[in-house]
Amino acid sequence: MAEIKVPELAESITEGTIAQWVKKVGDRVEKGEFIVELETDKVNAEIISEEAGVLTQVLAEEGDTVLVGQVIAIVEAGEGAAPAPAAAVEEPKAESAQTSAPAPATVPAAPAPVAQETNNERVVASPAARKLAREKGIDLSAISPVDPQGRVRVQDVAAHGSAPVAQASAAPITTSNGPVVFAPASETDRITIEKMSRRRQTIAKRLLEVKQSTAMLTTFNEIDMTNIMALRKRKQEEFVKANDIKLGFMSFFTKAVVAALKKYPYVNAQINGDEIHLNNFFDIGIAVSTEEGLVVPVVRDANAKNFAEIEKDIADLAKKARDKKLGLNDMAGGSFTITNGGVFGSLMSTPIMNGTQAGILGMHSIVQRPIAVNGEIEIRPMMYVALSYDHRIIDGKDSVGFLKTVKELIENPEDLLLNS
């Protein structure tokens, strides 16, 4: 017999949530085979079986919170293929037909939910979607997901459940004052309640902690993107042929940030008790939006990488984030963060700093706006940028100087080569 325990993933992770059981009781399990997905504060971890055999017990259900070291399943030696629950229910029916003793009251009602659960287990769905489907009594196999890979999301369940509701119309009632008003037939038809995922809870908690534990301030500037857009257009075809990846704006901003951090080292620092730790490395976090919230994988040693290497790192990390394949090492550390709200159409924002870092740069939409150039009004592609910083260790002079350095380097992108 082998116990499946929640493994130690990192020093800061003490618990997790069962996201999805890939194997069910009675299934054959091979040594090293992935049997359950665990959702932690930072990543989704795949837990494997250390022994071959049959999964005989599941000691934690999907959605349960479990601690590191806790036993969550039992695997015993055997060849698998345990009898399905439905077969066990049918035996008393055959007996009752041959005897005069009354059958237990629970026997007739058992087959229906067993069959539905079996259908649901074959469907790939998020834990929140499974929970909502159970609450609404919806068979997951009857839902048509929007996801091209066939994964059922909570939005699919909500849309499926709300479409056929015929009796959701309000019932008229008369008050003591005479006027007729309308009340909803059921409040559940008007509100969909979805439990926050562990990751969303952690994001909310940490953002609040940053707001409460730092003297956060934001300064703004604007960047004329004319030259960088022209350079990118001129070099794009050559860059793609040489590196098999497109030249984006993020590599330019990463390079500009590294140069500015070298010039203003306190922006690349953090407070530890009554000490200021000045980081002599340049691990730049790049915020990536996923279905479960924002994650910040890190481009390591960005100062030592060229444009192509940075673009490849960002593309690889973003793909891993959206495929839920990020590891703890992909997000650990980081000395400064860049977030790009412009991809969603944001014109201006005040980004919140990431963890214990002292600064974060917010990029925004590129918008054609009239500006004064050498005394003349011209239409230029402009971007607002924002630097949120911890005023406890970064003075206004450094924050403004940092942002001004980024602006100057982006507006004169050739100068970035001199700072590489």
| DSSP 8-class letter at 217 | E
Asked if residue 416 lies in contact with residue 306, where contact means CB atoms within 8 angstroms, the answer is no
Burial class (CB within 10 angstroms; exposed 0-12, middle 13-18, buried 19+) of 247? buried
Asked if residue 121 lies in contact with residue 85, where contact means CB atoms within 8 angstroms, the answer is no
Asked if residue 55 lies in contact with residue 23, where contact means CB atoms within 8 angstroms, the answer is yes
Whole-angstrom distance, CA of residue 355 vs CA of residue 270:
10
Asked if residue 388 lies in contact with residue 362, where contact means CB atoms within 8 angstroms, the answer is yes
DSSP string covering 347-370, please? S---PPP-TT-SEEEEE--EEEEE
Burial class (CB within 10 angstroms; exposed 0-12, middle 13-18, buried 19+) of 185? middle
Q: Which tokens hold the place of 143?
A: 């839902």
Residue 225 neighbours by CB distance under 10 Å: 20
Task: Provide the annotated active-site residues.
Answer: 391, 395
Asked if residue 364 lies in contact with residue 349, where contact means CB atoms within 8 angstroms, the answer is yes
